[in-house]
Amino acid sequence: MALELFDLKGKRALVTGSSQGIGLALAKGLAAAHAEVVLNGRDAVKLAAAADTIPGARILAFDATDHAAARAAVDRFEAETGPIDILVNNAGMQHRAPLEDFPEEAFQRLLQTNIASVFNVGQACARHMIARRAGKIINIASVQTALARPSIAPYTATKGAVGNLTKGMATDWARHGLQVNAIAPGYFDTPLNAALVADPAFSAWLEKRTPAGRWGKVEELVGACIFLASDASTFVNGHVLYVDGGITASL
């Protein structure tokens, strides 16, 4: 009986930024829990390749940073295919530079990709979820929601905003039957972190700094996602769940 709480059979999940990395891993995990998954990104070719790795996966290509495009795509999908029961706002990017030299255009891209996309797709899906009085939204935050490191101050600002936007979404939408939470990954071996993974000095620092003593594996985020997407978390709202090997717990 308890295990049935985690079964996503009959549910449909849209995962933004899911052609690779964390997004693709989460989509595969949700599919393994019996959800129908819908992959999103801007590159239809990459999405098609990713969809080939998940039986029954659908593709919904649109730019999550474009408010009108996101709303039009979600509205059209809901009308033509059916409800989106679960949204995972995963689209994100990184840019590293000393703060005093940080390019303004890179700062703007971070704001649009990491924050505006969460608002755009979250609002588009929530409007339908509110009408049904049910829905799950999971935003992908970061260990940088709580901590900072040199050369990524704007990224840290965006992920702090994701944490607080999650709380705001829950505050506004919980009364309509929605649960809105966030997963905050620590340091995971992903394409976004490829430069850091390839840096022996950084990896050595990370292994010392993290109580678990290693990089995370993207598959280790799946359990948290299934929990927050399922009936096991019906009274969890506005929560930021850190999956970080203990890095935020230890000085």
Which residues are identified as catalytic?
Answer: 155
User: Strands 58-59, 86-89: parallel, antiparallel or unpaired by DSSP?
Assistant: unpaired
Task: Say how many CA atoms lie within 13 Å of 70 toward its Cβ.
Answer: 28
Is the separation of the CB atoms in 172 and 126 below 8 Å?
no
**E strands present in the chain:** 12-15, 36-39, 58-59, 86-89, 135-140, 178-185, 240-243
Write the CB contacts of 32 (distance below 8 Å, at least 6 apart in sequence): 222
| CA–CA separation, 226 and 245 (whole Å) | 19
For β-strands 12-15 and 86-89, DSSP reports them as parallel
